[in-house]
Chains A and B, each alone.
Chain A
Amino acid sequence: MKKIALEVNGKKVTKEISDHTTLSGLLRDILNLTGTHIGCDTSQCGACVVHVDGKSIKSCTALAADLDGSKVTTIEGLASNGKLHPMQEAFKKMHGLQCGFCTPGMVMSAVDLLKNKKNPTDQEIRDWLEGNICRCTGYHNIVAAVKEAASKM
């Protein structure tokens, strides 16, 4: 067991956790932030992507014990004061989601992309999202949503 202190979506959190608790496990099972999803357990599907210290990572294979002192942002922390983030708005406008299961990870990855690249090309968007699998949309509207968000941010 290890005691860790982090900031999750702007709130200070102190928890005692087992050494093998993953970040996704901490978020979902201990903090009840179930917006972060588990689609594969093997870092392949990207449904679990969150930001740690501003960078997108796959939370299903990050050990929470390693993240003492980190700042974590999940999909629940993206909107501010009830106003959707431009990426969330764009996904809604362009119908970039259907069943919604891959969406939290997809949105968090896309937000990180725009931090790295303000106006990415279609190919750059597709390359960046290569680690996020969506079975519903065929990615067409996801790419359109990221471009829409880029134009608004």
Chain B
Amino acid sequence: MASLVGSRVERKEDKRFLTGKGRYTSDINIANQTYAIFIRSPHARAKIKKIDTSKALKSSGVVDILTGEHIAQDKIGGLIAGWAIRSEDGSEMKCPANPPLAKDSVNFVGDPVAVVFAETLDEARAAAELVKVDYKVLKAVSNLGEAMNSEAIHDGIDKNLCYDWLLGDRQKVKEAFDKADKIIKLDINNNRLIPNAMEPRACVIDYNTASEEITCYTTSQNPHLSRLIMSAFGGVAPENKLRVVAPDVGGGFGSKINLYNEEIVCSWASKKIERPIKWVAERTESFLTDTHGRDHITHAELAVTNDGKFLGFKNETIANLGAYARVFGTVTPTYLFGPCATGVYIMPAAYSNVKAVYTNTAPVDAYRGAGRPEATYTIERIVDKAAMELGIDPIEIRMKNFPTEFPFKQTLVHQIDSGDYVAGLNKAKEMADYDGFAARKKESESKGKLRGIGVTSYFEACGIAPSPVVMMLGCGVGLWESAEVRFNPTGQVTVYTGSHSHGQSHQTTFAQIAADELGVPIENIDVVHGDTDKGTFGMGTYGSRSLTVGGIAIVNACKKIVNKGKKIAAKMLEASPDEVDFKNGEFVVAKSNKKKTIGEVAFASYLPGVRDEVKSPLPEGEEPGLIESSFFDPANFSFPAGSHICEVEIDPETGHVKLDKYTAVDDFGTIVNPLIVEGQVHGGLAQGIGQALYENAQYDDSGQLITASYMDYTMPRADDLPDFNLGFTCTKATTNPLGVKGCGEAGTIAATPTVMNAVINALDGKEISLPATAEKVWKACKEMKKSNAKAA
């Protein structure tokens, strides 16, 4: 049987999606369900003086209206930060309480204060209009740069500062900088983004009055973790009375990692009102209340020699947490950011200093890449600036500073097991026809256009898992992953995974892996995920971890199956287990033609003696059945890397940036399914390009989100993007048996600096802030024209 790992297998999940048979949360209806509408703060910062629900309660069809008072009375806990980060001075981070319904104060536009349940959605909407909330409006803190000098939003959190974190050695950096020929300085923003999974968040809750079990169908990237938090911290119900199901989920990108207010409130309320509840966010609610991403202000410095060797790097960053610290909110700008900020280079000394602050804006958390895009943007922009100031080619300066021996101990945290950065950049250079750029630039100029080329080399640390490491860094739990592999007596296989697919194609790739391990046709393998009642507890999907952690748990469980199968087969074949080999789904006795298929062994394991070839095939001490599980906790993160090159053509008359060519060369180790991996890269690139050219979440001074619809927040559309030119190099990961590295976030991580380096290259090095909208580029072109005229 040919190996499926490495094949372009078409997806098992596609047929249902393509025929309208996907089952997303908002597709689920439960008999007798009520409809929930949340009443949200229209103010960014206010005290709640009074909530009057009397009129609304009398409105047609209203079943109940609940507020923060009710939540507090029932002692329902709130949302939590998952990582404890310490400040440089050793003090603990400061986090405010984040109740599911605000009782005393609201801290961002969209913060929920009450919820209406009614017989129909229209009735719930009408009643919500009648709920009167009396606010004392306070001055909002909406500007990140001014947050530390503004009034404290939360009691006891001075300067709005959650922590002032340092990674690295200030003294070493000072010594390195003292020796430098030149210090390159750069002030940059990393613009705030809204993840915008196409499926708005939703939950449907069913409370079974007989079993007293709550079932919460929800749009989650990690249902097991949601149940744990809702149970252990929210006190909604014990875990055995709470089932969380994330059925088909229409994209996550980090925004569906968190458990949200609505899931806690509706789960708790369903038991209270003894009715099923359906809540579906409108798009503007998603804009307002989904966790946002990025939002940094950074000052960075790079110490270099005249011939382009890096001596040291530092950055001082202010990171926006929004109104509250959520699950990955505090780690994203620290351990997911700082270690990667030295980039893919030998950097003798470095530090990252991050001040994370609260503002009256939506909570900021992980968004595709989480910290690593911000880090890569910082280093790759400053490296380009160094190349320009030193008069060195951008590729040459990168090559000069690449490590060439692996494992490579990266400056701040990571021990990178494998990689070949030179090969990746060389391949990208060739594929992008880097050497032909000058001619293309000339041609653009002849048409009155500006042309720029941008390069980025990146590595990233993903496959977020190794429990001892993440717990040392402050994570509240270890981030291993689980799998269970079950043979049916008649030979089909069900693979249960604790990770969750919301577009990543686990049903296909995980089945490919199991098919190879077990020698069972892929058609006979089903992958089950997303239901706390099915399969083992798992940690979920984020940080490009599903394959490198969850996939390996499947491999290990399959290996246990084969081991047990070997013993059973040996008994059936009257041989010793040592003599039995397993290959292509068959147990074969060495140097003989005696063999049993794994299907026959599975049958015999459940129904010993039913077929008469061996009356009792189970070896002594062996239990019946063929089911094995594994919890895999890897030795390290995985470290994909690569080099991207893009070319832009700018029309100085309009400021329009045309993305002309985009080449991405990535090293993801072993590729299980190239069709799917290419798709992951394409999608990642689109999001990184979106950040560079289009997307920007904007709050006004009063804390109103002025980009809360698709009319105002620019999503990349089909006609904004080019075809992508992809290439791959392969150095296998040494920390897992498949040699795989994460691929889900790389495109996003690399694309933003690649595009911006190209835009700035076209503008002769003129700095421009993210995103490079047509307006900003047009202004820059005009200024260029003016200064060129002056010079002439």
Contact = CB atoms under 8 A, between A and B. Distances in A.
A135 B196 contact: yes
Given A122-B723, A133-B715, A140-B682, A104 B199 contact: no
B166 interface: no
Contact of A41 (B283, B678, B685): B283
B718 A139 contact: yes
A132 B718 contact: yes
Nearest to A40: B283
Given A42-B710, A143-B718, A138 B724 contact: yes
A130 interface: yes
Interface of B: 10-11, 13-24, 26-27, 196-200, 248-251, 253, 280, 282-283, 502-505, 675-676, 678-679, 682-687, 709-711, 715-719, 721, 723-724, 747
A35 B504 CA distance: 20
Contact of B24 (A37, A92, A129, A137): A37
A45 B14 CA distance: 21
B783 to A, nearest CB: 31
Contact of B14 (A41, A91, A104): A91
A45 B251 CA distance: 14
B679 A39 contact: no
A16 interface: no
A101 B251 contact: yes
7 contacts: A35-B19, A40-B709, A79-B19, A101-B250, A134-B718, A136-B683, A138-B686
A142 interface: yes
B723 A98 contact: no
B19 A76 contact: yes
Interface of A: 28, 33-42, 44-45, 47, 74-76, 78-79, 84, 88, 91-93, 95, 97-104, 107, 122-123, 125-127, 129-130, 132-143
Contact of A129 (B249, B685, B710, B718): B718
A137 B505 CA distance: 12
Nearest to B28: A34
A99 to B, nearest CB: 3
B683 A137 contact: yes
Given A34-B20, A136-B679, A141-B678, 6 more contacts: A34-B27, A41-B282, A42-B710, A98-B505, A101-B198, A135-B686
B679 A137 contact: yes
Contacts of A79: 19
Among B196, B683, B718, max chain A CB count under 10 A is at B718
Contacts of B26: 34, 38
A107 B723 contact: no
B11 A35 contact: no
Contacts of A136: 198, 251, 503, 679, 683
A137 B253 CA distance: 12
Return the 4 tightest CB-CB contacts between A and B, nearest first.
A35-B20, A101-B250, A100-B17, A99-B503
Nearest to B685: A138
Contacts of B10: 92-93, 95
B199 A98 contact: no
Nearest to B249: A99
B719 A127 contact: yes
Contact of B723 (A28, A33, A97, A143): A143
A78 B19 contact: yes
A93 B609 CA distance: 45
B18 A133 contact: no
Contacts of A34: 20, 23-24, 26-27
Contact of A125 (B24, B248, B716, B718): B718
A44 B18 contact: no
A126 B250 contact: no
A117 to B, nearest CB: 15
B22 A100 contact: yes
Contacts of B251: 98-99, 101, 135-136
Contacts of B18: 75, 84, 88, 91-92, 97, 100, 103, 107
A129 B682 CA distance: 17
A137 B17 CA distance: 15
A122 to B, nearest CB: 7
A133 B199 CA distance: 11
B682 A138 contact: yes
Contacts of A37: 24, 198-199, 250
B679 A103 contact: no
B676 A95 contact: yes
Given A34-B27, A37-B24, A45 B724 contact: no
B20 A74 contact: yes
Contacts of B683: 98, 135-138
B6 to A, nearest CB: 16
A54 to B, nearest CB: 18
Contact of B11 (A95, A102, A139): A95
Contacts of B11: 92, 95
